[in-house]
């Protein structure tokens, strides 16, 4: 067997040992000359150990000179792989060793996006404390806060807001974090966002406010909370609908009834009725008026 073949075998064994957390075997294989190999997904021994939470193995690999920031086929680093499963001990070690915090994978997600999406609040806390960018956007334009809001991770939302995340930043479709929380019916997250003084009346690209979104999806409790927070129920979306119209369009009768009782909607409806009456009267008057040509005859 050639030296090259021996090195290849040792490297394959290193991947297996790292995956299984066999620290002693990892040391022996490195001493025998095992080189950095990759799996079919482009992952190194460091990626595997980080994902499995084998802190001792990660420590050995780092001290042996493994590249902390090497990216796999999905452009994820070992930090990403640890964040995906919430291995805070591994995260802490990688951060301590000076890894890059804000590398983005093929979808534009950083390790903080991953931790926020999964709701690993301890990991979120470690990353923001180390200086991870809380305002980073992925390819869909979502910040880590958008992702935490989508999945209803209240504690992660609190940490991100305290670290300077901005609730009113919009993603590629114009949704703020309040739009997202309203869409997925996460009341606790909505209350956290409101306590952080987020805007309740921002519009997305469809012209929908969070109230429109909740009305379309029949989220009655969300609508109640938004109205109590001062949401304007008379704002029109791009289809020319107020939230009440949206609720009726989707046959959400309970929500429609709730919106009908909102004082501002009552005023708006009265105003709209008056405007229609005035327009009707104008048309009638035009129809009844005598043309100037006839007056001259």
Which CATH number do you get for residue 82?
1.25.40.20
Share of the chain above pLDDT 70, in %: 86
3-class DSSP state of 126: helix
In a domain, 125, yes or no: no
Tens-place pLDDT, residues 240-265: 999 999 999 999 999 999 999 887 66
130-170: pLDDT as tens digits:
999 999 999 999 999 999 999 999 999 999 999 999 999 99
- Which H or E run includes 157? helix 154-162
CA dist., res. 240 & res. 234, Å (int) = 11
Burial (CB count <10 Å: 0-12, 13-18, 19+), residue 131: exposed
Q: Which residue has the tokens 């590249």?
A: 67
Q: What ranges make up the beta strands (E) of the chain?
A: none
* Cα 179 to Cα 13, 62, 78, 233, distances in angstroms: 49, 42, 32, 15
Q: How many domains does the chain have?
A: 1
Instruction: Provide the residue range defining the domain that includes 48.
Output: 1-100
Mean pLDDT of 273-291: 59
Residue, of 258 and 289, whose pLDDT is higher: 258
Cα-to-chain-centroid distance, residue 119: 11
Q: What is the pLDDT of residues 25-66, one digit of tens each?
A: 999 998 888 876 677 788 999 999 999 999 999 999 999 989
Token pair belonging to 76: 């994820």
**Distance between CA atoms of 68 and 66, rounded to whole angstroms?**
6
Quick one: average pLDDT of 200-219?
98
Position 268 confidence tier, pLDDT thresholds 50, 70, 90: low
In this predicted structure, what is the pLDDT of residue 262? 80
Q: Is the pLDDT of residue 10 over 90?
A: no
**pLDDT on residue 157:** 99
Do the domain assignments include residue 37?
A: yes
Q: What angle do CA 84, 155, 120 make, to 5 degrees?
A: 15
- In a domain, residue 70? The reply is yes
Distance CA 279, CA 84 (A): 60
Residue 219 included in any domain: no
């Amino acid at each position: 067997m050639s030296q090259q073949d021996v090195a290849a075998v040792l490297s394959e064994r290193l991947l297996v040992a790292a995956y299984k957390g066999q620290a002693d075997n990892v040391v022996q294989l490195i001493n025998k000359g095992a080189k950095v190999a990759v799996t079919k997904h482009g992952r190194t021994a460091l990626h595997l150990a980080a994902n499995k939470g084998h802190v001792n193995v990660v420590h050995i690999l780092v001290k042996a000179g493994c590249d902390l920031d090497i990216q796999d086929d999905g452009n994820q680093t070992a930090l990403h792989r640890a964040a995906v499963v919430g291995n805070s001990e591994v995260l802490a070690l990688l951060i301590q060793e000076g890894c890059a915090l804000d590398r983005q994978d093929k979808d534009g997600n950083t390790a903080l996006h991953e931790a926020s999406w999964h709701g690993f609040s301890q990991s979120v806390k470690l990353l923001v404390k180390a200086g991870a960018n809380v305002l980073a956007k992925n390819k869909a334009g979502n910040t880590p806060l958008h992702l935490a809001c989508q999945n209803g991770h209240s504690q992660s939302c609190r940490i991100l807001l305290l670290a300077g995340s901005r609730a009113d930043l919009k993603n590629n479709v114009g949704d703020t974090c309040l739009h997202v929380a309203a869409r997925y019916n996460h009341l606790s997250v909505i209350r956290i966002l409101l306590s952080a003084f987020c805007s309740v009346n921002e519009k997305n690209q469809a012209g929908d406010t969070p109230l429109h979104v909740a009305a379309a999806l029949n989220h009655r409790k969300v609508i109640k909370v938004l109205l109590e927070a001062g949401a304007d129920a008379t704002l029109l979306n791009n289809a020319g609908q107020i939230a009440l119209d949206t609720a009726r369009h989707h046959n959400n009768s309970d929500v429609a009834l709730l919106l009908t009782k909102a004082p501002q909607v009552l005023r708006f409806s009265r105003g709209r009725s008056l405007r229609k009456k005035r327009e009707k009267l104008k048309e009638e008057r035009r129809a009844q008026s005598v043309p100037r040509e006839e007056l001259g005859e």
